[in-house]
Structure 1
Amino acid sequence: MSRTRSILATVLAAAITFVAYNSAVKAPELLAPEGCRMSYMWPSYILQTAFDKSWTSYASRYSLWLYREAGWDAPDKLRGVPVLFVPGNAGSSRQARSIASSATHQYFTSKGVRSSTFATHYKPLDVFTAEFNEDLSALHGPTLVAQSRFVSDAVKFILSHYDPGTQIILMGHSMGGIVAMSLLPSPNISAIITMSTPHSLPPARLDRRIEDIFAASWHATAQSKTPVISICGGATDSMIPSESCYLPNIASDAQAYRRTVFTSGMEGVWTGVGHQSMVWCHQVRWHVARAALLTGGSPPVEEIHATFDRWFRIQATNMTSTKEVTLDLGKMDLQSVTVGEVLRLHPPATENSAFTFKVPASARGTLLEFTLLASGATVLGLGALTPGPTEIRILSCTTADTQQSQCIDLKPTSLRLLPSTRWGHTFPVAKEGAGESEGIVSFRTIISANEMAKEGRHLVLKVDSGFPRSWILASLAATSETPILYSTVTIDSRRLVQDVILNRTPTSLFAYRFTSHLAGQCDDSALFPPLLLHEASDSESHFYSLQGGAGVSIHSHSHGPFLPRQAGHERSRLTIISPSTCGVARIQARIDWYASIGQWALRFWGAVATWAIGIVALVCLHSWWVASAIGEVPDFLSSLERIAARYLPLVTVVLCALSLLPLPPQAILGFSGSIEAALFAPLVLLIAFTYVFIVASFTSGLTFLLGLFKRRSLKWCAGPESKASTDTRQAPPAVTLGRIASISVILLLVAFVVPYQVAYVVALVDFIWSCAQLPNTPQRASVERQHVLVLLLVLLPLQAPVLPVWVRTLLTAGWTAPFDGDHNILLIAPSLMLAGFAPSNPRAPLWTRSSLSRLEVAVTTALLGLLVAYPLLFGLRWMFGVYEMANVLASWLVITLHLPLHQWISRNTS
């Protein structure tokens, strides 16, 4: 590949990157617009000064606070249920204020006056909150461990102020949920509520210790019976892939309550929620606070389960019970409705009215579906938070219409509360959403016409206490399910409910664009605009308002890279709900490529960094072999172009072929076994190649400029004789006492003071300076050093993220605060020696293959080959392993170049 082609590939990759970035930024708006209402409070915080070093060794680094609502809560009195809020990555203790304030205003109607909603045995919440000084815990395993130990000590301190046997509720946001889960199993914790927490997959897989923490958390969760619920924000959350928010499916004998719920389907919320918005979104904080209030007081575990099911509900199908009743239908205002007819009651009929749905003989042998939509009413106890007085019962009754009839409540196959949408308004409405007091009850059940006829039963819809603002729509019709895939299908616009099946496996990597064509009287005269319900899994649902012919983009998180598929959802189910006077006549489906590219960017950014390391290692391996053949090392950019022309197409084909195989979920991009998976490898490889090309070009230019600076510095300092002094042919020895002393000092600092990543940056800067070309520098020495320098530079993104963690700790907690971990000198000594023992005169090559034995050449080649293969096959899932493998390579190079073992091996293998 010529230099011109490299530049063209760079331009193409830059264009793809620009489109992907813009799509990722706009993803929340495209897929799940946020409709959160702002929350308001009157916060005050009380520092727990008694929580000092006698309680925790992290008292100088972190702190504990008690939230109090100004003017409502007594500042110095603990009278309620203890709750501890744990902030996440770069989070603050102040994030607890929204939930704490909501709990106070729900429990009290005024200062000290308990609301009649809560029985006397319920208590208010005492919300404590941890302050981690906005530590970046997602990037650093030891920081996560430190926070876990601090929270464990804080739980003991908090419970020491309450009666023995009192349990605490833990709430965790983002990585704070991982910290909370790390405390399990514990008899002191009554429940855990996590929000936007990546339970199944670390968001930044740069640290092996984070992987260990997650694995330990999964194991502890399997052994604990403490109820845990995970609240996820969906595509609106651009900080983490929301498929990782699912609680992992772990085999356990504990039979504990483990549930995941997405806010887009959560009753009374019905909106995607951003990562930061999760702690202040009014609809979410209201439900979290209500659940915590009803969970307090250490009730039986079953009551906690019921509370969580009620206040984090998606649908109520499994929460209904049937009752038998005797009806005298002869004394009621009874009307008959035929199959296929839509019953419309607006307002509903007066009290003691009933409607019968009989199955005609022509319908025998078919399955029928009864559908009910009702606003301002309750069905089987389900209704809006402040429903109207209308009560509806759907009964299966026996005998004739004019006699006493034995009836029983029909058990629904689907019972849920739908959001109320309005004509001319988007859904959800920005900064408003849908209120807790709104909603449409949807009741659906499947009926066998043969069984109904055999038992002599018929359906009765009984309405009590009609309310003027309520309305009811009901129908009994044949079941209908329409498949669709990249096409346009026609459906019956007069049906209340129409099921459409998307014959594609749901995944977070692809979004689908649905365009609807309405028919009928579609204006304010219709009760509501047609509504699209997308059920991605039992935990995830999305609602879209269909009006004006505008398309909607649907998505799913039931499956994603590196994660197993959620059971029972191999296809996406779409349900179109309409008032029958205005319905959807046609619907068109296609892949939304623009929105999908944004999803790829959010999940595969790490592959560019790790695959770039594999490409650089391949270039080094190629140059190594070329030098042995012709006796001259090609410069890095020339080798990169030869690699792109000769080997990169082969690598692309191999990766595409492997992507088609049913590999383990940890391999390649974490999403294999389909044609779509093969599309990603060429794109990622192209962008990674461009990244390497840019880094190599930058490195070449930087070392050239530094070389000019060196020359001028030597001229100014030494005068005319400087040129002669730089023209010496004898290179000083690589290993000197001065260099050994300086490296020893750095290693001592790493062992006791600074993290090894700081030493890595220092060594890299020193190596860049030593690579600056001086006059009469042999070309071979320069290009060999350039290869190593580019490798060290592309490894930098795997190490640099720890630096802001360390600096932030120093700035917020002081120099004396403990900073655990990252003091393993074995992780930095090879890189220090490789760069530090390089001769100060760049004329001496960094490695000379001709002086190595066959065994040394074979081992070096094998290590370089592994550094090529591992990043491409497993680097995205286990990023930390890439640096560890490079560290092994650096160790081997140091051994073969500078230690006596080199001479011993040479003598014994010659």
Structure 2
Amino acid sequence: MLKHFLVVITAISACSFLYGVYNYNVEIESNACQMTYMFAPPQFSRIDFEENDKFRNYGLYYYNEGRISIEVHNTQFTGAPVIFVPGNGGSYKQVRSLASVALRKARESATGIHLDYFTIDYNEELSALYGDYLERQTLYLKTCIKIVRKLYKSTEQAAVIIVGHSMGAVVAQAVLRDPEFSKFINTIVSLSSPINKPILVLDEKIHAFYKSINKNISVRRSSLKLNKNSNFCCATCSRFLISNHTNNADKNLKNVLIITIGGGNRDVLVPPGFTISKYSDIHAMTMSIPKVWLSCDHLSAVWCLQLVQVINRYMFDISVSDKQNFIYFTKDRIRREQAALTHFVKLNINQSKEINIEQEGRHNSVWREDTLRVFSKAFKEGSKSNFIQLIPLRRHKKHTKLCIDVTQLESDDFLFGCTVKSRFKNDWFCQDKASLSHNFQILPSIKNKMRSVAILDINNLKKTYVNWTHVGFFVRASRKPKVYHVDMFNPAERNMVFNLPRWSTFQKTILVNESSQGTLYYKLLVQGIEETFPTIELRIVPLSCIGDLNSIIIKMCIPWAPGFNKYQIIRYLNAT
């Protein structure tokens, strides 16, 4: 009997293993990360200090590139300091991708902004398996913060950004327990880290370490509290986490911005749910970060070029220089919040700005008003003159949503609303104008053609701007090809609800039998998900299409999980 039981258990284990291999290699998306390359030999210059005697197996290094290594203590550092903290079994050399991209970006920039990257060697200790390592690594990180500060003459450069990978981010968050050091931390960027709770508790000291972090930080910084009404798919929810931490008694912890980033499906070591901290200001999965749009496995998070570039762009955006050309990270929390939202949540190439439509539209401009609900316009060879598309707000009363889809949107193009009046035939002008360009969202690109979509609530616009008659889209004269589509619709016709069966079923449910020509937008609400195992297959079958068949993008949003958005591009016919 026992023999048969062992045979069954062995067979089940083998089948489970084979299914896991199949799932990882077939079901999970392939690695689309671009490799980061160095264009000069990397140099790691060791920084010696007295406290090294207490940590003989550890080391602090400064990263540079070139054939000649530098003497750190004889170098005047003027850049904004960044400390990289490796994770479980990680190497200090993993900083190469982040630091190399930052070096090239600084050399190509005319602003003089540059970053100084430091990296910590923890002797590749397995900190996820043995708790004693974590407290010792935290103590050494605090020592390194103190040593790095001493390398700078400017007191403004006292605050550092810590980029932690895997368990390195947990160690970085542990430093916040000490008010003497938390005041020197500007931002913590967590990469694929089990920052809220451990993956495995093989050691009681690991559990005690996490418990100590929560106990100390929770009394000085509010934590995320979810309930049945939590909805992170709303239009204004991108600031929900930030507003959760802006009313703290502890000024030092309030000033620290915590950005947590998860790798998504490809990271089989740290599941997505483990990557968000209760104290996060911003959380994003790599597959929803603008200009990344892909899932990273656990190790590629430190070298994936798309992600590395976004992280460096954020740090460059919050860097400022003083009169002596010393670079430091701004203390302005609002500026840092906006930069983080822009780079990690919602990229706006067209920020709200003052527009002069009278001056822009008077010379070399073509005005056009369309009364149709659905229409398109293409500039296949660019536009020789400025083009102003007017969309009336009060003609279609039942159709209260407006979707504008633009391919190759440029920073000089803008969306606006105003009261349109006419001096005489075909001579229009605007009054009470305001920019609406901040409503544009960047979507994953296809064939390097940037796609931007804005969805406007017409009823809200009419209530807010009672005199407005039109929404306008300004296309500046350019040689760049451009296409835009307009779809004004009734939300009741585009919002669909699907109730997931309690038990598995192979029955197909047709949600949309056939869409109308020019339809741009549908919203599907899936209800009844009470367990973690149910799956749903969404199949899109093109019947008859006009235009590019590869332009279908699906955005999946989980209401109760901040940052867990995913975009899927339908590239082939009959795709799933």
Same fold? TM cut 0.5: yes
Per-residue displacement from partner, 1:433-491 (whole Å, max 9, x unpaired)? x7xxx521111111129948974612222222243422222232222212235623215
Tell me if 1:394 matches 2:403. no
Cα 1:492–1:59 shift into 2, 3 Å: same
In 2, Cα distance between equivalents of 1:336 and 1:175: 57
Shift of 1:414: 4.9
In 1, Cα distance between equivalents of 2:353 and 2:529: 36
RMSD, aligned CA: 3.2
Shift of 1:281: 0.6
In 1, Cα distance between equivalents of 2:165 and 2:471: 47
In 2, Cα distance between equivalents of 1:320 and 1:504: 38
Cα 1:410–1:505 shift into 2, 3 Å: farther
Shift of 1:24: 5.1
2:89 touches 2:124 (CA, 8 Å); kept in 1?
Answer: yes
Tell me if 1:299 matches 2:297. no
Per-residue displacement from partner, 1:214-272 (whole Å, max 9, x unpaired)? 23323427251211111211111111111111121x5xxxxxx7111111111111111
Q: Which amino acid aligns with 1:463?
A: V
Structure-1 residue corresponding to 2:229: none
Cα 1:282–1:508 shift into 2, 3 Å: farther
Q: Number of aligned residue pairs: give it.
A: 502
In 1, Cα distance between equivalents of 2:35 and 2:402: 39
1:393 touches 1:463 (CA, 8 Å); kept in 2?
Answer: no
Q: Which amino acid aligns with 1:311?
A: H
In 2, Cα distance between equivalents of 1:305 and 1:454: 32
Cα 1:75–1:60 shift into 2, 3 Å: closer
2:348 touches 2:438 (CA, 8 Å); kept in 1?
Answer: no
In 1, Cα distance between equivalents of 2:468 and 2:81: 57
Tell me if 1:345 matches 2:375. no
Q: Which amino acid aligns with 1:516?
A: I
1:377 to 380, 394, 409: 409
Structure-1 residue corresponding to 2:369: 336
Per-residue displacement from partner, 1:318-369 (whole Å, max 9, x unpaired)? x9536575649798533232343222223354433222222565x32x3422
Cα 1:508–1:147 shift into 2, 3 Å: farther
In 1, Cα distance between equivalents of 2:71 and 2:291: 32
In 2, Cα distance between equivalents of 1:72 and 1:327: 58
Structure-2 residue corresponding to 1:481: 495
Tell me if 1:232 matches 2:269. no
Structure-1 residue corresponding to 2:324: none
1:409 to 423, 434, 439: 434
Tell me if 1:159 matches 2:189. no
Q: Which amino acid aligns with 2:452?
A: V
Tell me if 1:258 matches 2:270. no
Per-residue displacement from partner, 1:664-696 (whole Å, max 9, x unpaired)? xxxxxxxxxxxxxxxxxxxxxxxxxxxxxxxxx
Q: Which amino acid aligns with 2:27?
A: L
Cα 1:9–1:493 shift into 2, 3 Å: farther
Secondary structure of the residue that 2:265 maps to in structure 1?
Answer: helix
Please identify, of 57-66 and 135-144, the stretch whose mean Cα deviation from structure 2 is larger. Answer: 57-66
Q: Which amino acid aligns with 2:443?
A: L
Per-residue displacement from partner, 1:796-844 (whole Å, max 9, x unpaired)? xxxxxxxxxxxxxxxxxxxxxxxxxxxxxxxxxxxxxxxxxxxxxxxxx
Structure-1 residue corresponding to 2:99: 100
In 2, Cα distance between equivalents of 1:152 and 1:340: 61
1:45 touches 1:65 (CA, 8 Å); kept in 2?
Answer: no
Structure-2 residue corresponding to 1:214: 210
Per-residue displacement from partner, 1:608-639 (whole Å, max 9, x unpaired)? xxxxxxxxxxxxxxxxxxxxxxxxxxxxxxxx
Secondary structure of the residue that 1:497 maps to in structure 2?
Answer: coil
In 2, Cα distance between equivalents of 1:359 and 1:411: 14
Shift of 1:203: 1.1
Q: Which amino acid aligns with 2:454?
A: F
In 2, Cα distance between equivalents of 1:46 and 1:36: 25
Shift of 1:84: 1.3
Higher strand share: 2
Secondary structure of the residue that 2:373 maps to in structure 1?
Answer: coil
Alignment of 1:296-335 (within 5 A): 296=319, 297-301=328-332, 302-316=334-348, 320-321=351-352, 323=354, 325=356, 327=358, 333-335=366-368
Structure-1 residue corresponding to 2:170: 178
1:36 to 14, 19, 33: 33
Secondary structure of the residue that 2:458 maps to in structure 1?
Answer: strand
Structure-1 residue corresponding to 2:20: 21
Structure-1 residue corresponding to 2:78: 79
Per-residue displacement from partner, 1:254-309 (whole Å, max 9, x unpaired)? xxx71111111111111111110011111111122232234340312333223323
Cα 1:550–1:404 shift into 2, 3 Å: closer
Cα 1:510–1:411 shift into 2, 3 Å: farther
In the alignment, structure 1 segments of 5+ residues that lack a partner are 110-114, 251-256, 382-389, 423-433, 553-910
Secondary structure of the residue that 1:418 maps to in structure 2?
Answer: strand
Q: Which amino acid aligns with 1:391?
A: D
1:171 touches 1:177 (CA, 8 Å); kept in 2?
Answer: yes
Cα 1:232–1:11 shift into 2, 3 Å: closer
Cα 1:509–1:143 shift into 2, 3 Å: farther
Cα 1:59–1:526 shift into 2, 3 Å: same
Tell me if 1:470 matches 2:488. no
Q: Which amino acid aligns with 1:288?
A: I
Question: How many percent of aligned residue pairs carry the same amino acid?
Answer: 19
2:416 touches 2:437 (CA, 8 Å); kept in 1?
Answer: no
Shift of 1:137: 0.4
In 2, Cα distance between equivalents of 1:456 and 1:376: 28
1:534 to 556, 564, 573: 556
In 1, Cα distance between equivalents of 2:439 and 2:208: 41
In 1, Cα distance between equivalents of 2:336 and 2:429: 41
Q: Which amino acid aligns with 1:210?
A: I
Cα 1:403–1:336 shift into 2, 3 Å: closer
Tell me if 1:133 matches 2:127. no
Shift of 1:99: 0.5
Per-residue displacement from partner, 1:858-882 (whole Å, max 9, x unpaired)? xxxxxxxxxxxxxxxxxxxxxxxxx
Structure-2 residue corresponding to 1:442: 453
Shift of 1:173: 0.4
Q: Which amino acid aligns with 1:355?
A: Q
In the alignment, structure 2 segments of 5+ residues that lack a partner are 222-249, 320-327, 501-508
1:233 touches 1:275 (CA, 8 Å); kept in 2?
Answer: yes
Structure-2 residue corresponding to 1:187: 183
In 2, Cα distance between equivalents of 1:476 and 1:309: 28
Runs (4 or more) in structure 1 with deviation over 6 Å come to: 328-331
Cα 1:324–1:105 shift into 2, 3 Å: closer
In 1, Cα distance between equivalents of 2:55 and 2:482: 58
Cα 1:87–1:510 shift into 2, 3 Å: farther
Alignment of 1:834-845 (within 5 A): none
Secondary structure of the residue that 2:51 maps to in structure 1?
Answer: coil
In 2, Cα distance between equivalents of 1:303 and 1:359: 34
In 1, Cα distance between equivalents of 2:204 and 2:536: 36
Secondary structure of the residue that 2:169 maps to in structure 1?
Answer: helix
Q: Normalising by structure 2, report the TM-score.
A: 0.78
Secondary structure of the residue that 1:512 maps to in structure 2?
Answer: coil
Cα 1:404–1:292 shift into 2, 3 Å: closer
Structure-2 residue corresponding to 1:6: 5
